[in-house]
Amino acid sequence: MDEVAAAAGVGVGTLYRHFPTKTDLLHALYAERLAEFAAKAERYVSDPPWDRLAALVSAMIEAQSTDLALAEAPTCEVADTRPELATVRIAFQRGLERLMAAAVASGDLRPDITQRDIVTLCFNRHLVGNPGGWQTYASIVLAGLRAPTTQEL
């Protein structure tokens, strides 16, 4: 917490007044990230759904790979137990659900892919500490999510 306070340019007392425990701070960071991802899912609705989904998936994988705070964030199951986390998680899920439905309707996303599949692939704790390798992983994930073209069938 001392390092976080110093990096934020505040006293440790100020940090503890806002976040009494490290867990409280991690939950706040998790909520902030999920809100960012929810907003990203709803952004640029005039763009093709696949492009939007690919950008969101890539952003989530990059964040999981490079953001150590996100790596320590709670799981979705923990988010269900804390109202402030559950609310933002629901917003994220709804945005992802709409985006996935649009990508399936456009024929770009495999129809058998679930939200859980995407969340599991993107928020994989094994990605942590590989800030240079996330792009390769993201390209593999996106290739697996993409619906085959008629030529591939």
- 132's tokens: 């240079």
Q: Tell me the pTM.
A: 0.82
- Listed residue (40, 28, 38, 115) closest to 74, CA to CA: 28
Q: How high is the pLDDT of residue 127? A: 81
Q: Please, are residues 50 and 135 in contact by the beta-carbon 8 Å criterion?
A: no
Q: Cα(98)–Cα(56) distance, rounded to whole angstroms?
A: 13
Model pLDDT, residue 142: 97
Q: How far is CA 25 from CA 3, 36, 147, in A?
A: 13, 17, 39
Q: How confident is the model at residue 80 (pLDDT cuts 50, 70, 90)?
A: low
Return the pLDDT at 3.
73
